[in-house]
Amino acid sequence: MNFKTFAAFVGPSVFMMLLFIAFPLATVFKNSFYVTQPVYETVVAETCTPGFLTQTCVTEEKSIPRLDEDGEIVTTTSYVGLQSYGNVLELGRAWEALSQGSWAAFQSIDFWKALRFTLMFTLVTLPLVLGGGLAIALMINNASRLVKGPVIFISLLPFIITPVIGALSINWLFRGDGILTAFLEWYLARDVAMFAQAWTIEVLLMVYRVWSVAPFAAIVFYAGLQTVNSDALESAVIDGASRWQRLKYVVIPHLMPLIVFISMIHLMDAYRAFEEVVGFSSQGYVITLQWLTYDFLVPDEAGNRSISRASASAMLTMIGIALLLIPLLRRTWRDHKGGH
Amino acid sequence: MLKKLVMAGAMSLMASGAWAACAYENTTPIKSLSAGFQAWKAVTDAMAECGNFAASLDQDFREKQPEAFAAKPSLYHIGGVANSTMIPLLNAGTIRPLDDLVAKYGQNLTPNQLIKVDGVTYAIAMMVNAQHLMYREDILSDLGIAVPTTYAEMLDAAAKIKEAGVVDYPIGGTFKTGWNLAEEFVNNFLGEGGDFFTQGNMPNINNEKGMAALEVMKALTEYMDPEYLVSDSTYVQQQFQQGKIAMANLWASRAGAMNDEAESQVVGKVIMAAAPMGSAAPASSLWWDGIVIASNISDEEAEAAFQVAMEGIDEEMVKANNDLAVWLIPGYEPGALAAGAAATAAAGARPYPASGPMGIMHTALGNGISAYLTGAKDAATTLADIEAAYVSAAKEAGLVK
């Protein structure tokens, strides 16, 4: 293929990547080093609130943003260096808490609280998704032709459901005297409140994630299972290998590239966990890094939002994902080089 | 067949009384954006009777409004706001002074409805809302408990109700982490006579008033459903309706739902009373909802929009929807359901101190208080951390030097 044809094919997608990925990313990166603020003036003003018959009025000092002649709010943008990162990380407080050996104080800082749970969430769900996915794939593979279609459909169902909807429906199964909580109460013969302490919520969030993602792993593994060399499997049977040994020495090594692939996708996805916090309204107990970014970004009733800290938090999340992926990327790179 | 359909359509239009109820026919296309609760539905339906009117009822209106009204021309003509959500519009200058329009078309408005900032009218209030005590009259009289007027009395009553075991949880509370939880703190802090800020928008909650507010909240949680950190107004309303709780400090706008026979098992048993007294004022804050008109539209459009708005909040609408809200509109007959809000206001409840810094403070409170209630932090640390969170956000917003 000559260069011109190549460029014509690749050009549009490079353009799209620049427009929708590189440019916003660069903007976020820049925003994390700058702070834009309205210019406020202090004025004394009287405001009134209606009561039942008369109004209550208060006169007080107020900060009012200055408007220019076009009626736009005058803003100033200043370079603040790493200050926004500092405000997110709160290193001073974190260090103080750690040097006093107080884990509770350390975990009361939003970023570190979110990081602790996000890492745990990612690393605990990873093996469960891989194991669960492989188990489902083997089940589908061994199902008779007659029921294979329905089995695939049912096992894919959690993956098809929109994440927030899935999270909400599981939430309602357990909220208050939901069906499953009522069942647990009957089974354990004691009062159960799933949303009254952190650990039960953490378990629910992780169970939900495994439930919704394992089918994706399963369908990828199922595709991989179709390409397992049947000669190798037959010779293993002749050599007297048990079912488990065949799985361990033939099937899993064959699926290894897919396992690495699923792991990478899952690490990236799970580190960005967000729907779970919203769907289960868990923010009183448990938050994730992505939720923290969202919380900085969402405006309060008076319209303030912390764009700089949100940008810094988003960049930190990206750095976190990159660090997590390094071991897997190095492995892939080694395999790639070894293959040539 | 087609003829029949057209006939049916015409009949249903007639039946719904389209245009019939409006005094005139509106010819300018008008759009509004407001919150989505029942009172707004009633008001915008009444506006729609004038024709050429489209309403967006949206729970996320507060995120859309500042941007939509800043567009030139503004995407909406009429906005529905509350005390807090008016602030960003007012600050950005995207809502217009209404004094001339009030003089021309506002003959039926009372002075109480005109929301003035430094003497200039910027909004027309239509209803007030406040959290106040609702209690199960049957339970309290069975157990011989007097109606609680302070939180100390409410806790005593709760102890007796718990002992009697007549409901699952004696007290319900809108303690959902975030906006609701912060609002509970605001109510109690105002009840203690606290002011949120000192000179230069510096925070002022880490003091004995803040501690007292937190302690009351924690004491109440002892008698609540242990899942209180996920319980919002709707959840508390349902707990009442299903007979699971006996008392709660709940929004006046939820009072009507207690007697909704389709949902409630406690019709007629829930009585409205004043919010419990703090040491200085009732532990509640007064809110209003009302109408604003965009700046970035032509004067003719503004005039048409204002006329439509006046039709929406007229006597006829109130007569048809008397129990949906505590209306400020002439023709409203305050019934038993409004008694709680009226008594709370009469006892001197303070208005919600809406402002730019307060928006940040409300968020910081909403995120920070749960750590105290779950026992992760003590009261002083919690308040200090909330103040620190407020200061770093306010610095970023430029409100604190």
**At residue B199, does pLDDT exceed 70?**
yes
* CA diameter of chain B: 75
Chain A CB contacts of B94 under 8 Å are 71
Among candidates A245, A95, B231, which has minimal Cα distance to B240?
B231
CA atoms within 13 A on the CB side of B349: 31
Prior bond of A24 cis (ω within 30°): no
CA atoms within 13 A on the CB side of A40: 22
Position B96 scores a pLDDT of 94
Interface check B86 vs A, CB under 8 A: no
Average pLDDT over residues B118-132: 92
- One fold for both B19-128+287-333 and B131-283+344-397? yes
* Helical ranges in B82-133 per DSSP H: 83-92, 99-105
Contact criterion met (CB < 8 Å) for B376 and A302: no
The pair of three-digit structure tokens given for residue A131, joined into one six-digit string: 């194991």
Domain boundaries, given as residue ranges, for chain B: 19-128+287-333, 131-283+344-397
Is residue A136 within 8 Å of residue A153, measured between CB atoms?
no
Interface of B with A in 357-386 (CB under 8 A): 357-360, 362-363, 367, 370-371, 374, 376-377, 381, 385
Q: Name residue A129's amino acid.
A: V
Using only C-alpha atoms, what is the Rg of chain B? Answer: 23
**At residue B14, does pLDDT exceed 50?**
no
Report how far residue B183's alpha carbon sits from residue B365's, in angstroms, rounded to the nearest whole number.
9
Residue A9: C-alpha distances to residues A2, A3, A19, B322 (Å): 11, 10, 17, 66
Q: How far apart are the first and last CA of chain B?
A: 72
Instruction: Give me the percent of chain A exceeding a pLDDT of 90.
Output: 44
Residue A138: C-alpha distances to residues A146, A160, A225, A226, B273 (Å): 16, 20, 8, 11, 64
CATH superfamily of B19-128+287-333: Periplasmic binding protein-like II (3.40.190.10)
Average pLDDT over residues B90-101: 92
Report how far residue A71's alpha carbon sits from residue B72's, in angstroms, rounded to the nearest whole number.
11
Report how far residue A226's alpha carbon sits from residue B270's, in angstroms, rounded to the nearest whole number.
65
ipTM of the complex: 0.80
**At residue A284, does pLDDT exceed 70?**
yes
Q: Does domain A108-338 have CATH number 1.10.3720.10?
A: yes
Contact criterion met (CB < 8 Å) for A63 and B358: no
Report how far residue B239's alpha carbon sits from residue B227's, in angstroms, rounded to the nearest whole number.
12
**At residue A56, does pLDDT exceed 60?**
yes
Position B18 scores a pLDDT of 43
Contact criterion met (CB < 8 Å) for A37 and B397: yes
Interface check B245 vs A, CB under 8 A: no
In sequence order, the 6+-apart residues with CB closer than 8 A to the CB of A228 are A250, A251, A254
Report how far residue B241's alpha carbon sits from residue B263's, in angstroms, rounded to the nearest whole number.
7
Position B13 scores a pLDDT of 44
**At residue B358, does pLDDT exceed 70?**
yes
Residue predicted with more confidence, A218 or A335? A218
Interface of B with A in 333-362 (CB under 8 A): 342, 345-346, 350-360, 362
**Residue B17's pLDDT band (cuts 50, 70, 90):** very low
Domain boundaries, given as residue ranges, for chain A: 108-338
Q: Look at the alpha carbons of A266, A271, A274, A280 in this order and tell me if their dihedral is positive or negative.
A: positive
Contact criterion met (CB < 8 Å) for A63 and B399: yes
Position A144 scores a pLDDT of 83
Quick check: helix, strand or coil at residue A167? helix
**At residue B326, does pLDDT exceed 60?**
yes
CB atoms near residue B205 (< 10 Å): 25
Chain CA centroid to CA B219, Å: 25
Contact criterion met (CB < 8 Å) for B227 and A87: no
CA atoms within 13 A on the CB side of A62: 20
CATH number assigned to the domain covering B131-283+344-397: 3.40.190.10
Position B12 scores a pLDDT of 45
Contact criterion met (CB < 8 Å) for B360 and A304: yes
Q: Which helix (H) or strand (E) holds A117?
A: helix A110-142
- Rounded to a whole number of angstroms, the distance from the CA of B360 to the nearest CA of chain A is 7
**Residue A338's pLDDT band (cuts 50, 70, 90):** low
CB atoms near residue A236 (< 10 Å): 16
Tokens 């803040």 locate to: B210
Dihedral, CA of residue A277, residue A279, residue A285 and residue A286, to nearest 10: -20
Report how far residue A225's alpha carbon sits from residue A258's, in angstroms, rounded to the nearest whole number.
10
**Residue B282's pLDDT band (cuts 50, 70, 90):** very high
Question: Which residue, among B81, B176, B230, would best test binding to A if mutated, counting the most A CBs under 10 Å from its CB?
Answer: B230
Position B173 scores a pLDDT of 93
- Nearest chain B residue (CA) to A278: B230
Report how far residue B248's alpha carbon sits from residue B253's, in angstroms, rounded to the nearest whole number.
14
Q: Name residue B317's amino acid.
A: M
Q: How far apart are the first and last CA of chain A?
A: 23
